[in-house]
């Protein structure tokens, strides 16, 4: 677990994660509204030489082209539908995932089924200092640390 006291630290944490990513990686981000999920993704993107990342809340999914492309998904609006798994399938994420890094905000059980190799990150903002915890699933993430 990492303790994060500012948006700058959250961005820096994302950059450290991003520096370790490779094609096909899946990251699931969870945390309340305002926890810092998109800031973390911006740090990941910076490590991939991508700028201008914003929350895809209203467009659901956005692809950023780079040497290692980033698929950034926000399923918050899909969760409210009660059919998140069905709508997530409609996004056709399997098509490009093997050549990209995929980061899914609000990546709950519906998203976990996309891969048995994933990094699950939870941001707890129950007090001023956020607590970021990591669940490394699968051999790909063995030995991961930041």
Per-residue pLDDT of 64-118, as tens digits, reads: 999 999 999 887 655 555 555 444 445 555 456 788 999 998 776 666 767 899 9
Task: Give whole-number Cα distances, 115 to 8, 15, 83, 91, 111, in Å.
Answer: 30, 23, 19, 15, 8
Per-residue pLDDT of 21-43, as tens digits, reads: 999 999 999 999 889 999 999 99
2-140 CATH: 3.40.50.300
Task: Give the total residue count for the chain.
Answer: 146
Task: Specify the pLDDT at position 128.
Answer: 87
Per-residue pLDDT of 43-75, as tens digits, reads: 999 999 999 998 876 666 788 999 999 999 887
Q: Is 45 helix (H, G, I), strand (E, B) or coil?
A: helix
Rounded Cα distance between 90 and 73, Å, is 13
The first and second tokens of residue 90, run together, are 């409609």
Domain parsing of the chain, residue ranges? 2-140
Rounded Cα distance between 81 and 104, Å, is 17
Q: Provide the whole-model pTM.
A: 0.87
């Amino acid at each position: 677990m990492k303790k994060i006291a500012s948006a700058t630290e959250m961005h820096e944490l994302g950059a450290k994660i991003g520096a370790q990513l490779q094609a096909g990686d899946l990251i699931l981000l969870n945390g309340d509204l305002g926890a810092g999920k998109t800031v973390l993704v911006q740090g990941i993107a910076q490590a991939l030489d991508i700028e201008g990342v914003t929350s895809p809340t209203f467009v659901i999914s956005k692809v950023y082209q780079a040497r290692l492309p980033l698929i950034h998904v926000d399923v918050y609006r899909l969760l409210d539908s009660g059919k998140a798994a069905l709508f997530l399938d409609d996004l056709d994420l399997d098509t490009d995932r093997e050549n990209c890094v995929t980061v899914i905000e609000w990546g709950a059980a519906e998203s976990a089924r996309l891969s048995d190799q994933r990094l699950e990150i939870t941001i707890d903002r129950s007090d001023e200092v956020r607590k970021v915890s990591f669940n490394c699933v699968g051999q790909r993430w063995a030995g991961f640390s930041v």
